Amino acid sequence: MDHDALFKWLLKDPVILRSFFEEFLPEVANYTDFSRLEYLDKETRTLRGVRRTGNLLVKVRFKGQEAAFLIHVEHEARKDRDIAWRLLEYVVLDQRESGSPVFPVIVLAYAAGPLPVRRTKVKNASRHPRNKIEAFVKRKATARNNSGKRRDNLLMIARKLFQKALDSPANLRFKDACILAKAFGFRISRVSGSHHILSHPRVRELLNLQSVHGDSKPYQVRQLLQLIKRYNLEPGDDE
């Protein structure tokens, strides 16, 4: 995956997009509601009918308001003396199509000149804008990959516990029953003594799990399996 593709892939994650603005454009992040965003079609046509495709176009809202605006992020990995005119054209076209104001962002991921090499002051190189952006991209890419690996491991554990519960509900430990319920989207609503009451946004019934010397009650495990089957729940419904 090249640098441009990696940058687009990362910023299509709403969490990473928000953290990018909080780190590099905090003044914009302060008034932007990132909980309600919409990724839009980046391709449009100029007045001459020429296709133009920007890097990233996102529709967001002002915090506490219904009024929306667009964020157009353009990434450049190499020098282009016409980038300012091209970005201006994108903004005009975006505003013409949407009728909303557009906030343009251009990320220049290349050095304006050779970096000074000072073996005694290595920290200076990390302050360069290009290195700061590359460090951000690498950090977020690593975190996203690690998150995907953790999710795959949890799904594998959930499938094993599900099969174990089906084969022998009387031999499922209480902590394993909680892990299984969580993997299928249940969350603890309240705890009363030994009673752990769990709820699910798609399930009307509440689920009660109890620990008896570290073990689950078999009938409660069977109730969990029945709810999973009745509502056609899948591992990963907690995402």
pLDDT digits (tens, 9 = 90+) for 208-221: 999 999 999 999 99
Q: Per-residue confidence at 118, pLDDT binned at 50, 70, 90? A: very low
Mode of pairing for the β-strands spanning 195-200 and 68-76: unpaired
Chain centroid to CA 48: 37
CATH label, 151-230, candidates 3.30.920.30, 3.40.50.10190, 2.60.120.260, 3.40.50.150 = 3.30.920.30
C-alpha to C-alpha distance for 174 and 190, rounded to whole angstroms:
16
Q: Per-residue confidence at 163, pLDDT binned at 50, 70, 90? A: very high
Q: Per-residue confidence at 85, pLDDT binned at 50, 70, 90? A: confident
Q: What is the mean pLDDT of the chain?
A: 78
pLDDT tens, residue by residue, 181-239 = 998 989 999 988 889 999 998 999 999 999 999 999 999 999 999 999 999 998 876 55
Domain boundaries, the chain: 3-110, 151-230
Q: Are 17 and 58 in contact (CB under 8 A)?
A: yes
